[in-house]
Homo-oligomer: A and B are copies of this chain.
Amino acid sequence: MNAMLATAARPAAPVAGLPRTTPDEASQAFARRITSTLAMVSERVALQRRIVHEGDRVYAAGEASGELFVINSGCFKVVTLSPDGREQVVALKFRGDWLGADDLGHTCYSCDAIAMDTGEVWAVRYVDLIDAARQEPALLTVLHQAMSREIARERDSLMSVCTLSGDARVANFLRDWAESLARRGLRTDRITLRMTRAEIGNYLGMTLESVSRGLSRLARARLIGFAGKGRREVCIPDVAALSAFVQGTLAAPATLQ
C-alpha cells in the first residue's frame, strides 16, 4: 500500500500526529525501548518501588517536587486543577512512561497523578538521576526522549481536539489506548476503559453525553463492540478500520448514521 510506503519514507506521523500505522516492527522497537529503559534505570539509579492501587495519588499538585516516577505497571491519569475549580485530565500514562518529568524545573508539582489501576511505580530522585547520568549518559537520552514524547503527545491531543469531530475524537481515543496497550504487548481485542464517560469527555473536550453517543454510533457501525455488562469493556475487532474512520471524517465529514 502506498500509504505505508509514504509513511516509511517521511518520518512524520499520520493523523493528528498519532502513532504510525503500527507495523509490528515499530511496535516491537517500542517494546524493546521500554524494557531497556526500565532495565537501565533499575540498574543505575537508586529507586524506591511503590505499589499503588486505584485512586491512589502518586503525587499531588503543590507538593514539593524533586522525584520522578517511572511506571513499571498499571495505568495513570494526570490531572490539572485550575484555581477556579475546573479540573482537566491532561494525559494518560502507561508502563515505561514517566510521571513528574513535566515539573522538572519547578519546585512543586503542577498536577495530580492518579492511579487508575493497581500498579507499580519507581520513585527516582532527580538529583540522583542526573548524578547517575555522569556514569551512564544514556540515562539523559532516555529522559529527554520521554519528555519530548510527552510534548508530542500533548500536541497530538491538541490537534485532535482542534480538527476532529466528536465521534472521530472518541474513535481516536480508543485507537490511541489500544495502540498504547499493543505496543506494550498487552491484548487489545478487549480493553477495559478505566474512566467514566465524564472523564473521557473531559479528556477529549466534550460532554459525557457526546461521548456516550459517539460510542453508541461507533458500536452501531461495528467499529467497536461492547463486552461485559458494564459497558466499560470495549472490543476493537479491527484497529485499522478505526484509524480509517478517523481519516475518513477528515476528508469528507462522513457521519455515522
Near B by CB (< 8 A), chain A positions 1-59 give 6-7, 10-17
Number of copies of chain A assembled together = 2
Q: Say whether B151 contacts A15, CB under 8 Å.
A: no
Interface flag for A105 (CB, 8 Å): yes
Near B by CB (< 8 A), chain A positions 82-128 give 82-84, 86, 88, 90-91, 101-108, 110
Q: Say whether B162 contacts A80, CB under 8 Å.
A: no
Point out the residue from B81, B150, B159, B163 that lies within 8 Å of A151, measured CB to CB.
B150
| Complex-state Cα separation, A106 to B141, whole angstroms | 10
The residue on B at minimum CB distance from A146 is B105
User: Which A residues form the contact surface with B (CB < 8 A)?
Assistant: 6-7, 10-17, 61-62, 80-84, 86, 88, 90-91, 101-108, 110, 130, 134, 137, 140-142, 144-152, 154-155, 157-159, 161-163, 202, 204-205, 247, 250-251
Contacts of A84 in B (CB 8 A): 13-15, 247, 250-251
Q: Say whether A162 contacts B159, CB under 8 Å.
A: no
Point out the residue from B91, B137, B148, B247 that lies within 8 Å of A102, measured CB to CB.
B148
Q: Say whether B159 contacts A88, CB under 8 Å.
A: yes
Please judge, given known A-B contacts A80-B159, A158-B154, A250-B86, whether A108 and B11 are in contact too, CB under 8 Å: yes
